[in-house]
Chains A and B, each alone.
Chain A
Amino acid sequence: MEFPNHHRQIVEDLMAGKFILPTERTFEVLNENEEFYTQFFKASFNYDLKFSQDYIYMVSDESNEMLSRDICIFIALLSYELDRDGKNFLERIQYSEFEVEEIENYFTNSSYIDLILSTKQLKDAENRRNFINTLNRRNIIEKVGDNRFVFTSAHKFFMSFAADIVKFENVSE
Chain B
Amino acid sequence: MKAEPRTILRFLLEYFDIITDLYDTQSQEGVITFEVLNQITEKHGFDIKIQLLEYKILSNVKENFEIRTVYYDLIEFILSEFKPMLPETIEKYHVSIAELFRKIREHIHGDKVILNQRINELSNEIRSFYEMVEKNTISLLNETRELKANVKKVDYREKIIRASRWIDEYIIPLNKILDINHSASIANKLYDVSEFSNKYRLNFDDENTRVNFEKLYFQLIQVNDNLLHQSKILTNELLPLIERIRTESIILTGWITYLKNPYKQKSPRILKRKEITVYSPSTFFNAAELFEQFKNDEVIYFEEEENEAEKWIFDKEHYTQKLKENLPVDNFFKWCNNTLKEDYKKVEIEKFFALTSLAFDADLQLEYTAKPEYEKIKINDLTLTVPKIKINQHGIS
A121 → chain B closest CB, angstroms: 13
Q: How far is the CA of A167 from the CA of B247 in the complex (A)?
A: 12
List of 7 A-B pairs having minimum Cβ-Cβ separation, nearest first: A162-B254, A76-B255, A165-B254, A68-B267, A63-B269, A17-B271, A64-B272
Q: Which B residues are within 8 Å of any A CB, using their own CB?
A: 160, 244, 247-248, 250-259, 262-263, 265, 267-274, 276, 278-279
**Which of B248, B251, B256 has the most CB atoms of chain A within a 10 A radius of its CB?**
B251
Question: CB within 8 A of A72: which of B244, B267, B276?
Answer: B267
CB <8 Å contact, B265 and A47: no
> A residues within 8 A CB of B268?
68, 72, 157-158, 161
> B residues within 8 A CB of A157?
268
Residue of A nearest to B263 (CB): A69
CB <8 Å contact, A64 and B271: yes
CB <8 Å contact, B254 and A89: no
A140 → chain B closest CB, angstroms: 10
- If A16-B273, A17-B270 touch, does A166 touch B254 (CB 8 Å cutoff)? yes
CB <8 Å contact, A112 and B259: yes
> B residues within 8 A CB of A62?
272
Q: How far is the CA of A65 from the CA of B251 in the complex (A)?
A: 21
CB <8 Å contact, A79 and B272: no
Please, could you name 11 A-B residue pairs with CB atoms under 8 Å apart, sorted by A?
A: A16-B273, A17-B271, A17-B272, A17-B273, A57-B271, A60-B269, A64-B270, A72-B267, A72-B268, A73-B259, A166-B257
A67 → chain B closest CB, angstroms: 7
> A residues within 8 A CB of B279?
8, 11-12
B156 → chain A closest CB, angstroms: 9
Q: How far is the CA of A152 from the CA of B251 in the complex (A)?
A: 17
A103 at the binding interface (Cβ < 8 Å): no
Q: How far is the CA of A77 from the CA of B256 in the complex (A)?
A: 9
Q: How far is the CA of A77 from the CA of B258 in the complex (A)?
A: 10
**Which of A57, A60, A162 has the most CB atoms of chain B within a 10 A radius of its CB?**
A162
- If A76-B258, A165-B265 touch, does A68 touch B252 (CB 8 Å cutoff)? no
A141 at the binding interface (Cβ < 8 Å): no
A117 → chain B closest CB, angstroms: 14
CB <8 Å contact, B248 and A63: no
> A residues within 8 A CB of B273?
15-17, 64
Say which size band chain A's interface belongs to.
Answer: 35 or more
Q: Which of A106-128 contact B (CB under 8 A)?
A: 112, 115
B310 → chain A closest CB, angstroms: 56
The A-B contact count (CB < 8 A) is: 112
> A residues within 8 A CB of B274?
15
CB <8 Å contact, A80 and B270: no
- If A60-B271, A72-B267, A157-B268 touch, does A80 touch B244 (CB 8 Å cutoff)? no
> B residues within 8 A CB of A158?
268
Question: CB within 8 A of B250: which of A67, A77, A89, A163?
Answer: A163
Q: How far is the CA of A67 from the CA of B267 in the complex (A)?
A: 9
What 10 new A-B contacts, CB under 8 Å, besides A64-B272, A73-B262? Answer: A12-B279, A15-B271, A17-B271, A58-B271, A59-B271, A63-B272, A68-B269, A76-B255, A76-B259, A90-B251
Question: CB within 8 A of B267: which of A69, A79, A163, A167?
Answer: A69
CB <8 Å contact, A79 and B251: yes
> B residues within 8 A CB of A138?
270
A75 at the binding interface (Cβ < 8 Å): yes
A83 at the binding interface (Cβ < 8 Å): yes
A91 → chain B closest CB, angstroms: 8
> B residues within 8 A CB of A60?
269, 271-272
Question: CB within 8 A of B276: which of A15, A159, A166?
Answer: A15
CB <8 Å contact, A162 and B271: no
A169 at the binding interface (Cβ < 8 Å): yes
B70 → chain A closest CB, angstroms: 42
> B residues within 8 A CB of A112?
259
> B residues within 8 A CB of A89?
248, 252
> A residues within 8 A CB of B276?
15
Q: How far is the CA of A152 from the CA of B160 in the complex (A)?
A: 26
A33 at the binding interface (Cβ < 8 Å): no
Q: How far is the CA of A68 from the CA of B244 in the complex (A)?
A: 26
> B residues within 8 A CB of A64?
270-273
Q: How far is the CA of A169 from the CA of B265 in the complex (A)?
A: 12
CB <8 Å contact, B252 and A79: yes
> A residues within 8 A CB of B244?
88, 90
A17 → chain B closest CB, angstroms: 4
Q: How far is the CA of A60 from the CA of B270 in the complex (A)?
A: 7
